[in-house]
Amino acid sequence: MSTPENPNSIFPKGDRASADYFTGTAWVRLLLPNDEAVHTQIGDVVFEPGARNNWHTHPGGQILIATHGVGYYQERGKPIQVLHKGDVVRILPDVVHWHGASPDSEFTHIAINSNTQNGIVTWLDRVTDEEYLSLGK
């Protein structure tokens, strides 16, 4: 189901993200479906407060560009990083990580999946509430 309005983005909200891979409510709009000529996929992702995706990897790596709100990014075994509008995160291939909104703010980012000839995403386990709420602990 698409929600056409997103006042915090230049793009309309996309389709509701799958509950198989996301906790809470998020929308994904593919801006560039996987392009085999440049081996890149680009999406705009909107997370409601508290929403996040599962732990996952990208065989070809990923770049996140924060465009609205306050978000979280975490690599397995490292502390959570707080993201704000304008922040850019470079994720190397096969690094286990997750990202989403902070508990009190919507968060939007552009996700650029590169080197997609190596694969796009490998989904893993859910981020537990304990992991999600571990900021500052």
Written as six digits, the tokens of 30 are: 């593919």
> According to the model, what pLDDT value does residue 2 have?
40
pTM for the whole thing? 0.92
Element (H, E) at 130: helix 129-132
> According to the model, what pLDDT value does residue 37 have?
95
Q: Which residues, 6 or more positions from 45, have their beta carbon under 8 angstroms from its beta carbon?
A: 14, 17, 26, 27, 28, 29, 108, 109, 110, 111
> According to the model, what pLDDT value does residue 5 have?
60
More confident residue, 102 or 135: 102
pLDDT, tens only, 2-23: 444 666 668 889 999 999 999 9
pLDDT, tens only, 46-100: 999 999 999 999 999 999 999 999 999 999 999 999 999 999 999 999 999 999 9
Longest Cα separation, the chain: 44
Q: Which CATH superfamily is domain 15-120 in?
A: Jelly Rolls (2.60.120.10)
Written as six digits, the tokens of 26 are: 């998020």
Instruction: Give the span between the Cα atoms of 66 and 53, in whole angstroms.
Output: 15
